[in-house]
Amino acid sequence: MINHDQPIQGKPDLDTLREMIAREEIETIITAFPDLYGRLIGKRIAGPFFVEEVIEHGVHVCDYVLTADMEMDPVPGYRFASWEQGYGDIHCRPDWNSLRLATWLDKTAIVFCDVYDEDAGDLVEIAPRTVLKRQMERAKDLGFLPMGGAELEMFIFQETYESARQKGFQNLQPFGGYIEDYHILQGTREEPLIGAIRRHLDRSGVPVEFSKGEWGAGQHEINVRYADFLEMSDRSIIFKQVCKEVAMQQSLAVTFMAKWHENAAGNSLHIHSSLWDQDGRSLFAGNGKLPGLPTGASDLFRWYLGGLMAHAREVSLFFAPTVNSYKRYRAGSFAPTSIAWAYDNRTAGFRIVGHGDSLRVECRIPGADANPYLAFAATLAAGLDGIQNQTEPPPAFDGDVYAASELPRVPASLNEAIREFESSTFVRRVFGDQVTDHYLHFARTEQRKFDETVTTWERARFFERI
């Protein structure tokens, strides 16, 4: 059973934070929330002002941050915020369950905020944290507690972010010289960085299981303990922040790009998920038989898997949100190319692992560039729909999924994913018109900005020889 009341190191309660501020052990509190990309947006608050004002009243930021693209360009065409509406404020209220120390920074704590409409006082529906919360409310109404883990991969470089920019992001030097999957020797070279990241995560309320080299030169993975979907998404965002900021402190750089180089492995965000009851018992465990599954399972597990399989293409926009995302899907790369399920088979888009209370679904489709709140929301929405409609999964696949030609494919491009998302009655029904239209515009903007750009590849190919 899960002990939800067990205290986690690095997660003080509000009274403890007040005391730490009074003793000047904490001087700065970061109040932040994830934007559409999953980046942290917010403010650094001085300790005394945080106690006097922010605890009770929250903070305000400009609403354009939930419409801006990667360059903070206030993109036109959104209903949520625009020049015509004056780009007013949104109200950010701390979620005290997310409060944690930020030990990688000096005398700092961090708390995530939920975003509210300044006038109506309602949650902003298009905010990524709200999108996930709405799906978790659906699960709670059905008696389910969604639990999951996120396996995030990254590449480490013997560069700083500044040196990479000065090179035009060309000829970058990965930290490792060879593929280091499970290698302890190369892991020792990277341990000054990876060890520091592990320790700061643990001390900042993100319990770590292990770290390991991955299937790329300079590629690494750190796995953190599973939690409910909202806490797991918070942990994933903290994880990425810690990795980048500790790397900067050591004059290194890391990337979570889905595919940083055409000849290198991709970075994934493998999502492990299962449903539990409110008393901490797995609802996937059972005695039911499912051909291809060498362990017993419940009807809920079977239907949940059926929903994931049925809606994978429709929600792929939340698994792979950029033009770069789709370059990761290559045969023989450990990234999936087809939608199939199998037990402990890493060529399948859905790998089933564990037994009994540990039985779970590993969705291997998301890349490390996915916004975890949206990826977990999509996973949960699809699984719940499968349960509510008692959707049967297709037969298990036996063998090399890469070699199969008859299976439905993962979308091959952002454009294809946009079409699937737009035409899906399921997406509009479970996420609503406001969220659906907002993220369609977001994705179309990403595609448009790429289409307008002349790339290095084009210049190298055509500058002289066309």
CA–CA separation, 169 vs 165, rounded Å? 6
Is the distance from CB of 374 to CB of 382 less than 8 angstroms?
A: no
Residue type, 94: P
Q: Kindly report, residue by residue over 397-448, the tens digit of the pLDDT.
A: 999 999 999 999 999 999 999 999 999 999 999 999 999 999 999 999 999 9
d(CA 274, CA 287): 16
What span, in angstroms and rounded, lies between the C-alpha atoms of 386 and 321?
24
Does residue 215 register a pLDDT over 50?
yes
Q: State pTM to two decimals.
A: 0.97
Query: CA-based Rg of the chain, rounded to a whole angstrom?
Result: 22
Where residue 333 falls (left for φ over 0; alpha for ψ -120 to 50; beta otherwise) is alpha
Model pLDDT, residue 1: 41
Q: pLDDT tens digits for 106-137? A: 999 999 999 999 888 899 999 999 999 999 99
pLDDT for 8 equals 86
**CA proximity to 218, closest of 284, 169, 267:** 267
Residue 28 β-bridge partners: 46, 108
CA distances from 334 to 65, 189, 270, 367, 409 (A): 35, 25, 11, 12, 15
Got the DSSP string for 410-456? PPSSHHHHHHHHHH-HHHHHHHHHHHHHHHHHHHHHHHHHHHTPPPH
User: Model confidence over 344-378: pLDDT tens digits?
Assistant: 999 999 999 999 999 999 999 999 999 999 999 99
% of the chain residues with pLDDT over 90: 96
Q: What is the pLDDT of residue 6?
A: 63
Whole-number pLDDT of residue 119: 87
Residue 431 CA from chain centroid, whole number: 18
Three-state secondary-structure class, residue 255:
strand
For residue 398, give the nearest of 347, 455, 337 by alpha carbon. Answer: 347
pLDDT at 7: 73
Sequence spans of domains, the chain: 14-124, 136-458
pLDDT for 5 beyond 90: no
Whether residue 94 is predicted with pLDDT greater than 90 in this model: the reply is yes
In angstroms, what CA-CA distances link 75 with 64, 180, 396, 438, 449?
9, 41, 44, 12, 11
- Please give the Cα distance from 330 to 333 (Å, whole number): 6
pLDDT of the residue at 117: 95
Residue 451 has what pLDDT? 97
In the predicted model, is pLDDT for residue 3 greater than 90? no
What is the CATH code for 136-458?
Answer: 3.30.590.10
Q: Are strands 269-276 and 145-157 parallel, antiparallel or unpaired?
A: antiparallel
Q: Strand 59-62 to strand 89-94: parallel, antiparallel, or no bridges (unpaired)?
A: antiparallel
User: In 104-207, where do the E strands start and end?
Assistant: 108-117, 145-157
> How many Å apart are CA 461 and CA 455, to the nearest integer?
10
Average pLDDT score, the chain: 96
Q: Helix, strand or coil for residue 108?
A: strand
Phi-psi region of 377 (alpha: psi -120 to 50; beta: other; left: phi over 0): alpha
The CATH topology of domain 14-124 is Ubiquitin-like (UB roll) (3.10.20)
